[in-house]
Structure 1
Amino acid sequence: MSTENTMRAIRQDVLGGPEVLQEVRLERPSPRPNEVLVRVHAAGLNPTDWKHRANGGFLGKPPFVLGWDLSGVIEETGIGVALFKAGDEVFGMLPYPFGHGSHAEYVTVPAHALTRKPSVIDHTQAGALPLVSLTSWQALVDTADLQPGQRVLIHAAAGGVGHAAVQIAKARGAYVIGTASAGKHDFVRGLGADEVIDYRETDFTEAVRDVDVVLDTVGGDYTRRSLSVLRPGGILVTILPRGSKELPLEAEKLGVRATEMLVDADHHGMTAVARLVEEGKLRPTIAGAFPLAEAAKAHEIGDAGRTTGKLVLVMD
């Protein structure tokens, strides 16, 4: 393959630990109708990346290139694209889960999955935002219809989704309670949280009452236990769906609601996120930025599960 028509990418051919990630050269894709070709400048990493790397998840068996977040510049537009032109700076999330592939120098993206990158942040910051911000927006706004003055409990408030959710909830005028380890309390309060609970020392079900919305980013028994802290008519939104009917039925018995969701690509949601960024109400915290060749190192850190904010791959 001619280097003019190829690109660097991080691919895996087998499932496993970070060591299975290899830098390879692949053919550069071409945009189909309603798609754009983006030259990636930065691409965020999320827990779904290391989970898919290890067990295949929705994607099944490799080979594949992971990555859903991206910020970059449009290189070429496909037939029918009216939103953008070559040279536009954009950011967004590839359709989840089967639109993966942003951990590469180029990727094709449905035009509706993107919006213009705010000029007040750089590509590294923009590349950290899409999946976590869209998840938070779709959970809190689209699903829970969070209103000013309502009380919201956000689990793992210092994590990727959590730290975006705290800011989005505050921008909506909510009273925000977050769970986090003691060492991260100042960070979470700095994001705007009104209360922070040390989940290692305190049972949140004893410390919290009468919240309107719970955003569950943890799963396990946190999901079921969170139902008890909702006020009558309140709603739990979990971003770790189990695909069972038990949770909504249990919620109904308690006089509350529960729903499971997966994030999806969304131009209007990304535009709302961009507006919050432009207004100074949403900023990512970058836990680490790594050149593409060091993707395995970034995954090692992600696997440890102690990250505050986001990890990002930067094309060098």
Structure 2
Amino acid sequence: MPTEQKVLFLTKKHGEWEVGTAEVSTPGPGQLLIKVEATALNPAEWKIQVFGVLVEEYPAILGVDAAGTVEAVGEGVTGFAVGDRVLIRGYFVKDKGTFQQYALAEAAVSVRIPKNMTFDQAASIPLALTTAALALFDPSGAGLPPSWEESGRGKFAGKPFVIFGGATSVGQYGVSSPSDPTIQLAKLSGFSPIIATASPSNANYLCSLGATHVLDRALALDVLLAEVSKITGGTPVELAFDTVPLPSVEFPASVLAPGGTLATVWPAIDDSHRAAAPGKKVVGVIRSTSRDATMYRLFEKLPALLESGDVKPNRVEILPGGLAGIAAGLKRMEKGEVSGIKLVAHPHETLWAPVRI
């Protein structure tokens, strides 16, 4: 195993992306060292560069979605061995960012992947799945009984569910389950009908994941409400999920019955969000004392969900150039040019590493 590796750095707040080199880290207690074969891109990464949020220490190594092989096992770790194929949930800190060739991973949020799943597919799963799961099932979110537990399976049979942004990575997990990630998670919970808004070009794909109806995301609100009412037969919508997020919660909250809950991927909900949805509950994905416990329990159940096919990966597009291709991919995401797929890079295909930062 090498002692030095190629890394993609965000050089400073609002800075540029630059490929360089850094030392390979050694796993500590409870950790794994992963040879990153595939890392997926997320909107948070371009937003960190453009808006200067979430990260304070620079140069930074971003990336939170990856899959690869276990290179070393830290003290106290059980259930993993060198050579295991795994997916990991990374973090926006240097050693645990996945935009590098070797990353540290917490064993508690690492999962062996099935033989019939590629590294590229596996890398599409972690963040989108956990975001949907926390928004819907964590006590700080909508607080539903987790659909990956037997007590939560089919709990909401016959109740409608509306997801805004069904073709986003989070949307596919929100409507499909962690087993069918949001669309997949909602399907496991028994929700029906499952109504997603998306581009018409993604309709067939979302239906293959578990959506029962796909409405054009460009519909005016009055038309959308009429279509939802027609689909549900007038049954009140008690839960909706905004995965985009839309500029205001007023639009997605409009489909809800009084007292209904809108789950969102907003990191925090303030008074302006609540004022835009009077008589309804609006929740976001926030840091809470229960969050890690919810995520760890999900990852305990994830191997079985992957094996059964209940949780399916996103469709992927491979970026050329390894780590050097990530910046262009993030720019495409910033411009809204990516829909219904997950962009993935192969760090070990990186040829250019001019400096060490």
Q: If the TM-score is normalised by the length of the shorter chain, which range does it land in?
A: 0.7 to 0.9
Indicate whether 1:172 and 2:153 are aligned: no
Indicate whether 1:258 and 2:253 are aligned: no
Report the count of equivalent residues.
310
Indicate whether 1:191 and 2:246 are aligned: no
> What amino acid is the match of 1:230?
L
Deviations 1:88-133 (Å, cap 9, x if unpaired)?
2221212468985111111112221212223331111001111011
User: What is the 5 A alignment of 1:120-139?
Assistant: 120-139=116-135
User: What is the 5 A alignment of 1:220-259?
Assistant: 220-248=246-274, 251=277, 253-254=278-279, 256-259=280-283
Q: Which moved more, 1:153-162 or 1:138-147?
A: 138-147
Q: Give the one of 259, 276, 292 matched to 2:323.
A: 292
1:55 is displaced (CA, Å) by: 2.3
Deviations 1:220-241 (Å, cap 9, x if unpaired)?
4442332232234421111113
Task: Give the TM-score, by structure 2 length.
Answer: 0.78
User: What is the 5 A alignment of 1:29-40?
Assistant: 29-40=25-36
Runs (5+) with no aligned partner, structure 1:
none
Task: Give the TM-score, by structure 1 length.
Answer: 0.87
1:306 is displaced (CA, Å) by: 3.4
What is residue 302 of structure 1 aligned with on the other side?
A: 333
What is residue 244 of structure 2 aligned with on the other side?
A: 218
> What amino acid is the match of 2:190?
G
SS of the residue corresponding to residue 229 of structure 1 reads: coil
What is residue 309 of structure 2 aligned with on the other side?
A: 280
1:311 is displaced (CA, Å) by: 0.9
1:100 and 1:29 mapped to 2: Cα distance?
9
- What is the CA RMSD across the aligned residues, in angstroms? 2.6
Runs (5+) with no aligned partner, structure 2:
146-155, 178-185, 230-235, 350-357
Q: Which structure has the highest strand share of the two?
A: 1
2:248 and 2:302 mapped to 1: Cα distance?
27
Question: Residues 243, 170 of structure 1: CA spacing in aligned structure 2 closer, same or farther, 3 A cutoff?
Answer: closer
> What amino acid is the match of 1:149?
G
> What amino acid is the match of 1:33?
P
1:174 is displaced (CA, Å) by: 1.5
Q: What is the aligned-residue identity percentage? A: 27
Deviations 1:130-152 (Å, cap 9, x if unpaired)?
10111122223344326232211
Question: Residues 98, 29 of structure 1: CA spacing in aligned structure 2 closer, same or farther, 3 A cutoff?
Answer: closer
Q: Give the one of 33, 48, 51 matched to 2:44.
A: 48
1:296 is displaced (CA, Å) by: 1.9
1:205–1:226 contact (8 Å) kept in structure 2 = no
Deviations 1:230-258 (Å, cap 9, x if unpaired)?
2344211111134424434665x41x322
SS of the residue corresponding to residue 149 of structure 1 reads: coil
2:337 and 2:54 mapped to 1: Cα distance?
24
SS of the residue corresponding to residue 34 of structure 2 reads: strand
What is residue 269 of structure 1 aligned with on the other side?
A: 298
Indicate whether 1:208 and 2:239 are aligned: no
Indicate whether 1:103 and 2:135 are aligned: no
1:157 is displaced (CA, Å) by: 0.5
2:113–2:306 contact (8 Å) kept in structure 1 = no
2:303 and 2:195 mapped to 1: Cα distance?
24
